[in-house]
Amino acid sequence: MNGFAELRSLVALMAMLPLFSCSQKNESSDLTTPVEALAPVETKQPNSDYKPAFAGQTRISGVKTSAPYKVSVLTSSLSAPWGIAALPDGRFLVTEKAGKLRIVTASGTIGEPISGVPQVNASGQGGLLGICLDPDFASNRMIYWSFSQPGNITAIAKAKLSADERTLEGVMVIYRATPLYNGSNHYGGRVVFDRNGNLLASTGERSDLVTRPQAQSLESGLGKVVRITKDGSPVAGNPFASQAGARPEIYSYGHRNPQGLAIHPETGDLWESEHGPRGGDEVNRVQAGANYGWPTITYGIEYSGQRVGEGIQQKEGLMQPVYYWDPVISPSGMTFYSGDRIPEWRNNLFIGALSGMHIVRLVIEKDKVVGEERLLENEKQRFRDVTQGSDGALYAVTDQGRLYRIDKE
């Protein structure tokens, strides 16, 4: 496409978006901090001519953090870290894709591997994946994690971290996203606790054409967000618990490869990010029983350039993403900022971008994205997971082995 055509397309797209200055409200102080609206951060041509369902669903106005902040690399010696969980004392539990679990100090010192981790299948996109602490970790020392179990299945396990922090005790696999499939992609892999002490876990639809339809099937554990108790049982009151033939653990369905889960600190709502194919990466606010559309609707296309299925983006009864990207950024782990060290970030959503090689900052008001910023673009790292530490700073791990700290100056 020539330069004039590119400019005309960009102008046409921007004309679809609202021009405004958004504001960010600190609920605890009832103060409003104005945020200057800039041009959208995405400037590349989209992969398709698909139109958003509503203004602001993609390529929203850019924003820029006004407060000075500093970025520190605490270590570059991790081996393909995938998940990070903040310990109460300021240290972190970090999973490494090949199957090792380590404690990393706030200064970046990496501990020896913790023994007792069950064997993982680390081929393809598999391995030791997301991790979270029991809400009562301070008293019971329990941790939960997702991994690709030999046999190519997304599994959820739990164990007690020993008092000397050298081993996992009483390891138990509490959930498996059956059926088995001999593929090595799209495991999903995040785990997070909701406010009621129930565990939410994401599973992928395993990528291949033969398994895709299972994302729409309530008889399959693939392409889902499941809600289970600490022992792996379906939570009473799950949306399909009384439906014949449906899996009672299913909370939402129609997902492709959901690698991000986070609980909003004010509302308690579950938010999710997932990979699209060529375009169509999504951020969703997950509602119980809702169908998020894959592969029936999508804003992405096949890697070959062909349309996915019927090539439709909207259908009655199927949920629209709150936000999507085209081209992709490959969103992975994410967290809401609930600290007060950088007040303008409060309740903003931060997402690690793999192919995008940055950290996404989304400003959200009334469940709508009103601003987007790209942080750490110059680092050229594949950001795999982001969390908030016990000190209120943000921490992120990258596929290349780095652990970052991001905090006010």
**pLDDT tens for each residue of 127-168:** 999 999 999 999 999 999 999 999 899 999 999 999 999 999
**How much is the pLDDT for 28?**
35
Task: Tell me, yes or no, whether 3 lies in a domain.
Answer: no
Strand partners, 110: 104
Task: Tell me, yes or no, whether 2 lies in a domain.
Answer: no
Task: Tell me, yes or no, whether 200 lies in a domain.
Answer: yes
Q: Which of 186, 255, 275, 358 is catalytic?
A: 186
Residue 16 has pLDDT above 90, yes or no: no
Which segments of 276-408 are extended strands (E)? 281-286, 323-325, 331-336, 349-353, 358-365, 368-375, 383-388, 394-398, 403-408
Residue whose pair of structure tokens reads 């990258």 in the numeric block: 398
The 128-133 sheet, strands edge to edge: 128-133, 142-149, 153-161, 168-176
Lowest mean pLDDT across 3-12, 205-214, 276-285, 338-347: 3-12
Q: Kindly report the pTM of this predicted structure.
A: 0.92
Task: Tell me, yes or no, whether 381 lies in a domain.
Answer: yes
Domain that includes residue 288, residue range: 17-408
Residue 2 has pLDDT above 70, yes or no: no
Q: What is the mean pLDDT of residues 256-261?
A: 98
Residue whose pair of structure tokens reads 């996109």 in the numeric block: 125
**How much is the pLDDT for 35?**
56
* CATH number where 261 lies: 2.120.10.30
**How much is the pLDDT for 291?**
99
Residue 17 has pLDDT above 70, yes or no: no
Residue 92 has pLDDT above 70, yes or no: yes
Q: What is the mean pLDDT of residues 76-87?
A: 98
Task: Tell me, yes or no, whether 211 lies in a domain.
Answer: yes
**How much is the pLDDT for 377?**
98
Q: Is 186 a catalytic residue?
A: yes
User: What pLDDT digit, counting tens, does each position of 30-75 carry?
Assistant: 334 455 689 999 999 999 999 999 999 999 999 999 999 999 999 9
Task: Tell me, yes or no, whether 9 lies in a domain.
Answer: no
Number of domains in the chain: 1
Residue whose pair of structure tokens reads 């009655």 in the numeric block: 316
User: What pLDDT digit, counting tens, does each position of 299-348 carry?
Assistant: 999 999 999 999 999 999 999 999 999 999 999 999 999 999 999 999 99
**3-class secondary-structure state, position 365:** strand
State percent of the chain over pLDDT 90. 91
∠ CA 37-395-65, rounded to 5°: 15
Task: Tell me, yes or no, whether 5 lies in a domain.
Answer: no
Task: Tell me, yes or no, whether 4 lies in a domain.
Answer: no
String of DSSP letters for 196-217: TS-EEEEE---SSTTTGGGGG-
